[in-house]
């Protein structure tokens, strides 16, 4: 209590003292000066108290940012390649020959042939044995690409279907040409794995549930779309054993690979059955929550997609579910970029089916040869043993390949433009990603776009390039009988193509 009383007493004395001071000022100083003094004392108090009522004052202006951090006043023009001009000068054949001929020499045995053409006019600018039939290796995939784009169309997709089976409790998985199926969910943004078995199984379970299906479900496999031998007898046993190719079926996971990330080594020898067993496993997992059970094992039942109808007539059974592949153009691009033999052979057989031929190797080679001719390539001397280029019995000339590239780049059939993105780019992508890195070829990096071809004694490079004057040139160089493993041969091809990229050959 004493402490409280003492504090209040001191406050009272301070209050009286302040009042006395003001009163003294009032009696001793004129009223005008008193008013002025009070105003001077009040201004600082207002400045201290006012922010509590009106908020903080405006912040100090930020220091000006450097020009490179400020928003642009205008949008810069995009930096893109200028369109090709028809007025760009056509190189002189003598000048092109002088540039290319000394570079195109073998490292050891064998010979190179080659052709360079102006893409717009077709004028031949360089020709060394260009009409001679050669083993082309994977350059053959260019012919297969043209055939697929012409017959199937760049926007076509292959459907993998699940149909109601010929007997109660059966479903039929039908291969429709998609060998890039994934095991999991569909990945619409991808080419490999665009359609997935897990997605197909989930859709099939939904359809079975809607149909009030009960009991055990048996999966059958229909892979009858392809006929004839699954392995081409023209392929060397060593190439099959090394995983360069595998038996052909109209459906497969990962282009008939065990693992999509592993492109070498052993492959499934029955890719269709491996895909069907994966589907059955996914169906079993998806159906568990819906009260459906799936029988163990898958039975192959070619032709099971056609079930007996009323009065003995044959009728197409109901489609329970289906998933679709990436487009033909997207698959062609992948095939050319990574030089996928299995995908190329599949494209050839699907081309055969689309033209009314059997889905066999013979049907594929006949269809690809015919479509090359229809695209404007003089095809009477073309000899095909397969459509991926693995067989040594293929014979195609450098002139024919230059004509094929010309048809893709500037020909009248715009469907063939679907193959343009598939050409590997020197030093950047696909099978050319590790080339064009030395001093002699760096000038072609990012400029040379070409399909490679490699067998033990065969090297090929066919593609296109814009020269230093802005002229589009197409070319094909093919080496046969080469010394196996001689590093100078690839360098010769790359240096010749680089010379074209830098050519102001006037």
218 belongs to the catalytic site:
no
Which one of the listed residues 138, 145, 186, 325 is annotated catalytic?
A: 138
138 belongs to the catalytic site:
yes
DSSP strand pairing (293-300 vs 307-308): unpaired
For residue 77, give both structure tokens.
């023009």
Q: Estimate the share of the chain in helix, then strand, then coil, as percent rounded to the nearest 5.
A: 40, 15, 45
Which one of the listed residues 339, 360, 397, 476 is annotated catalytic?
A: 339
Instruction: Give CA angle at 173 (168, 174), nearest 5°.
Output: 120
Cα atoms in the Cβ-side hemisphere of radius 13 Å centred on 195: 29
**Measured between alpha carbons, how far is 204 from 114 in angstroms, rounded to an integer?**
53
**Measured between alpha carbons, how far is 21 from 37 in angstroms, rounded to an integer?**
13
Q: Whats the size of the chain, residue-wise?
A: 506
**Measured between alpha carbons, how far is 152 from 150 in angstroms, rounded to an integer?**
6
Alpha carbon 360 to chain centroid, angstroms: 27
Q: Which ranges of 211-325 does DSSP label H, i.e. alpha helix?
A: 237-241, 271-288
383 belongs to the catalytic site:
no
Q: In angstroms, what CA-CA distances link 91 with 85, 99, 126, 468, 501?
A: 14, 11, 10, 10, 12
For residue 360, give both structure tokens.
């066999």
Per DSSP, the three-state class of 110 is: coil
Q: What residue has token string 């004509």?
A: 403
Per DSSP, the three-state class of 136 is: coil
The candidate with the shortest Cα–Cα distance to 346, out of 383, 377, 400, 386, is 386
**Measured between alpha carbons, how far is 400 from 131 in angstroms, rounded to an integer?**
8
Q: In angstroms, what CA-CA distances link 431 with 40, 75, 424, 434?
A: 86, 37, 6, 8
Task: Write out the catalytic residue numbers.
Answer: 138, 141, 339
């Amino acid at each position: 209590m004493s402490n409280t009383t003492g504090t209040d007493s001191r406050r009272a004395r301070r209050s009286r003292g302040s009042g006395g001071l003001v009163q003294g000022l009032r009696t001793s100083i004129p009223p005008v000066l008193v008013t002025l003094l009070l105003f001077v004392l009040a201004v600082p108090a207002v400045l201290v108290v006012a922010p509590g009522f009106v908020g903080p004052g405006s912040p100090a202006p930020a220091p000006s940012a450097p020009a490179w951090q400020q928003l642009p006043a205008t949008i810069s023009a995009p930096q893109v390649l200028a369109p090709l001009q028809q007025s760009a000068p056509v190189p002189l054949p003598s000048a092109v020959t002088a540039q290319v001929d000394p570079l195109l020499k073998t490292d050891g045995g064998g010979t190179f042939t080659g052709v360079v053409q102006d893409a717009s006019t077709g004028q031949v600018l360089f020709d060394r044995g260009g009409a001679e039939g050669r083993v082309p290796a994977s350059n053959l995939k260019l012919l297969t690409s043209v055939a697929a784009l012409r017959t199937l169309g760049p926007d076509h997709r292959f459907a993998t279907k699940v149909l109601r089976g010929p007997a109660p409790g059966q479903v039929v998985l039908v291969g429709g040409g998609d060998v890039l199926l994934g095991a999991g969910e569909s990945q619409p943004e991808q080419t490999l794995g665009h359609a997935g078995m897990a997605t197909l199984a989930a859709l099939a379970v939904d359809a079975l549930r809607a149909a009030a299906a009960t009991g055990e479900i048996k999966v059958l496999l229909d892979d009858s779309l392809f006929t004839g031998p699954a392995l081409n007898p023209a392929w060397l046993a060593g190439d099959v054993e090394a995983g360069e190719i595998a038996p052909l079926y109209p459906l497969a996971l990962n282009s008939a690979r065990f693992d999509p990330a592993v492109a070498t080594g052993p492959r499934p020898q029955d890719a269709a059955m491996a895909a069907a067993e994966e589907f059955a496993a996914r169906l079993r997992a998806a159906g568990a929550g819906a009260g459906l059970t799936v029988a163990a094992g898958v039975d192959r039942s070619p032709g099971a997609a056609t079930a007996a109808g009323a009065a003995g007539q044959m009728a197409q059974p109901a489609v329970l579910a289906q998933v679709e592949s990436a487009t033909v153009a997207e698959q062609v691009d992948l095939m050319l970029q990574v030089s996928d033999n299995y995908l190329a052979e599949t494209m050839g057989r699907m081309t055969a089916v689309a033209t009314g031929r059997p889905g066999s190797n013979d049907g594929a080679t006949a269809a690809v040869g015919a479509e090359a001719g229809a695209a404007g390539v003089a095809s009477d001397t073309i000899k095909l043993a397969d459509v991926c280029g693995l067989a040594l019995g293929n014979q195609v000339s450098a002139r024919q390949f230059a004509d094929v590239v010309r048809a893709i780049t500037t020909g009248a059939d715009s469907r063939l433009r679907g193959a343009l993105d598939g050409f590997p780019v020197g030093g950047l992508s696909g099978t050319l990603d590790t080339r064009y890195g030395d001093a002699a070829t760096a000038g072609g990096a990012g400029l040379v776009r070409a399909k490679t071809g490699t067998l033990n004694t065969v090297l090929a490079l066919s593609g296109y390039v814009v020269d230093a004057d802005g002229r589009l040139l197409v070319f094909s160089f093919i080496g046969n009988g080469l010394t196996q493993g001689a590093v100078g041969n690839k360098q010769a091809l790359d240096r010749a193509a680089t010379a074209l990229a830098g050519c102001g050959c006037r």
